[in-house]
């Protein structure tokens, strides 16, 4: 049976049905003043537990215990409003987060607030350009 909404307007139902598959990735790292850089590599965002707790305040969490390929690779996958966040759990400290924005309209305001309040920075992995938030 044909979906009645599809029959009426001639395209898939829902406001975002045409944007499926379009996503953008950013890397979240700690924002560092170059004058305070100690040259110890990338500073940590916090421990795995602290980062999970911080992300939880922004409605971002895992939906189950890690399993399958991600568990073997020590990667935790967390889901939030319009985003999927991946972080390494191999070490106790998290140095970066890989975020895939599945819906930028929802994800970008959340990520902006997250970064501003925690003194973190979003970086475009393709260009290396960083978005700083006034600190």
2.40.160, 3.30.310, 1.10.3470, 3.60.21: which CATH number matches 25-131? 3.30.310
3-state SS, residue 1: coil
pLDDT digits (tens, 9 = 90+) for 2-28: 444 433 444 444 444 444 556 899 999
Order of strands across the sheet that contains 83-88: 75-80, 83-88, 97-101, 24-30, 120-123, 130-131
pLDDT band at 131 (very low <50, low <70, confident <90, very high): confident
Query: Residue 65: its pLDDT value, please?
Result: 62
> Which one has a higher pLDDT value, 73 or 76?
76
Domain edges within the chain: 25-131
Q: Average of pLDDT values for 30-43? A: 70
pLDDT band at 46 (very low <50, low <70, confident <90, very high): very high
pLDDT beyond 50 at 75 = yes
Query: Residue 51: its pLDDT value, please?
Result: 96
pLDDT beyond 80 at 121 = yes
- pTM exceeds 0.85 for this model: no
The Cα–Cα gap between 35 and 24 comes to: 31
């Amino acid at each position: 049976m044909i979906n009645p909404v599809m029959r009426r307007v001639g395209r898939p139902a829902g406001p975002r049905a045409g944007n499926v598959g379009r996503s953008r990735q950013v890397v979240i790292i700690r924002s560092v003043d170059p004058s305070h850089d100690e040259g110890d590599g990338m500073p940590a965002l916090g421990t795995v537990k602290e980062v999970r707790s911080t992300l939880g305040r922004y409605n971002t969490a895992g939906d189950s215990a890690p399993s399958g390929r991600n568990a073997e690779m020590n990667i935790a996958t967390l889901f939030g409003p319009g985003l999927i966040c991946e972080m390494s759990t191999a070490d106790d400290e998290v140095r970066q987060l890989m975020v895939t924005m599945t819906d930028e309209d929802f994800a970008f305001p959340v990520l902006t607030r997250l970064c501003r309040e925690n003194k973190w920075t979003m970086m475009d992995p393709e260009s290396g350009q960083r978005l700083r938030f006034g600190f």
